[in-house]
Amino acid sequence: MHRWHRVGSLGVLTLLPTQMVSAAYGHGLALPFAFWGDFALDAAGCQRLLGAAAAQCALAAIKAQNDCYLSLINGAPCEITAVSDLIQRAHLTQLDLIDRLCTSPEAQALGFLLKFEAQTDLDNLLPHGR
């Protein structure tokens, strides 16, 4: 019976991620392709940082959730508050990195109104309520 419990848990867990996935939204209308590229070095550095920050934030969220699911599969508890705390900490770390290493003029060169709008893109990466 213990084996069937794990198989049943695995079946439930494979359904959960598809229901938890939500769309990711950008900062507004996309700029025409002709306006992308040929950024000054400082703006290009900010652009790379924004992409890396989003990737690190998403990877931290995926790892925290997967670790939780693996705990459940192995019969151990999963504290959803701890998972949310890990995700929030990773999110805040990346927001802080953007705040320290990108400037508003660099963000404006990338098509954002201000640096705050670039940080909002990172907020939009994660589903609301996380």
Q: What percent of the chain has pLDDT over 90?
A: 49
The answer to whether residue 5 sits within a structural domain is no
The answer to whether residue 91 sits within a structural domain is yes
Query: Which contacts (CB < 8 Å, 24+ apart) does range 80-85 have?
Result: 84/130
State pTM to two decimals: 0.68
98 token code pair? 């953007």
The answer to whether residue 47 sits within a structural domain is no
* Residue with the larger pLDDT of the pair 2 and 123: 123
The answer to whether residue 105 sits within a structural domain is yes
Q: 62, 64, 65: which is closest to 54 by C-alpha? A: 62
Task: State which residues form the domain around 117.
Answer: 64-130
Please give the tally of structural domains in the chain.
Answer: 1
The answer to whether residue 52 sits within a structural domain is no
| Res 102 pLDDT > 60 | yes
The answer to whether residue 115 sits within a structural domain is yes
The answer to whether residue 117 sits within a structural domain is yes
